[in-house]
Structure 1
Amino acid sequence: MEQFQFARGCLFGNFGAELSTHSEEIRDQVKAGLDLWAALVAAVLKEADAAGTLKSPLEHERLAGFIVNAWEGAALRAKVTRSREPLDDFFAMLDTFVT
């Protein structure tokens, strides 16, 4: 994002924020993409848990949803503030979940 002066964001976030109220098809596709992304993150969290490196007591799916939602918020905020600080904060918080 920094490379493009924070003018670009996440495709899911951009479509979701700008087009989901205008098209049910786009909304459904964005939701499907976010759901798939969260499922993939949940699978990685399950692996981290099995390896003993996950520090969160939350269910893998719930934590994965939070991570995806937090990333979307951080990406939007970075775009609005034209700053990497929200992204740095996201990764700092992510580090609290894994060793």
Structure 2
Amino acid sequence: MNKTKPYNISKKAVYEAFLRVKANKGSAGLDEESIAEFELNLADNLYKLWNRMSSGSYFPPAVKAVEIPKKAGGTRTLGIPTVTDRIAQMVVKLYFEP
């Protein structure tokens, strides 16, 4: 029985993505988990993300809507992804733009 994952995503790529997301800072998403909180259980969190991404079962959660004022008046809505989703997006970016 072949137990390989359908998507060849390395654990190293997931860790590198985490380092880049951490360096970029950023606020918490809808789950209110900060980068510092994510890092408290880093190995488990990265393993879960790697496992879901490499098996094809990762689905991004909803984003946190934040309105920011425009210079000309009015507001613009930003979607803030969770830390986990930012790492997942960075993994994909690293594969497309090494």
| TM-score bin, normalised by smaller chain | 0.3 to 0.5
Output the TM-score relative to the length of structure 2.
0.36
Q: Which has the larger radius of gyration?
A: 2
More strand by share: 2
